[in-house]
Amino acid sequence: MELLIQAPVLSRFGYAVSDATRARILLALSEAPAYPSDLADALGVSRQSMSNHLACLRGCGLVVAVQDGRRSRYELADARLGHAIKDLIGVVLAVDPACCAPDGECVA
C-alpha cells in the first residue's frame, strides 16, 4: 500500500464521497462495522453494487475488510475517519441553488 498525505488524501476522500451510495456506506460504518450483505439491505442496493462500492472504498484506503470466520466485516480504516465524517456533517454550507441540485450534484 502507498501512504498518501495532504492533497492526495483529500482528493481520494473527495472521490470516495462524491458518490451518494459510498457516502452512505461511510456514514453507516462511522456508526459501527458491518457485513456487506447487511449494508446492502440497509441501503437498498444490490449486493454486487455494494461489493463494487466497498472495493472502491478499500482502494481509496478508507475502509478495511476484517475476516470474521468465513465472512468479511467492514470497518473504517482509521477511527479518526468517523470523527471527521461527523464533523463534516456538522458544517453548514451556503450554496448557490442555480449551481447545485438538492442532492449535491453540480448542474453547471
Question: Which cell numbers in the block locate residue 30?
Answer: 462511522
User: Per the confidence metrics, is the pTM higher than 0.85?
Assistant: no
pLDDT band (50, 70, 90) for residue 4:
low
Tell me the per-residue pLDDT of 11-65, one tens digit each, with 9 for 90 and over: 888 888 889 999 999 999 999 999 999 999 999 999 999 999 999 999 989 999 9
**Helix 7-17 / helix 20-31 crossing angle, nearest 10 deg:** 100
Question: Which cell numbers in the block locate residue 97?
Answer: 441553488
- Residues 98 and 87: their CA atoms lie apart, in Å, by 26
Domains recognised in the chain with CATH numbers: 7-89 (1.10.10.10)
pLDDT band (50, 70, 90) for residue 89:
confident
Note the pLDDT of residue 68: 93
Give me the mean pLDDT over the 73-82 stretch: 94
Q: Which residues of 22-59 are buried (b: 16+ CB within 10 A; e: fewer)?
A: bbbbbebbbeeebebeebbeebebeeeebeebbebbee
CB-based contact 30:81 (threshold 8 Å)? yes
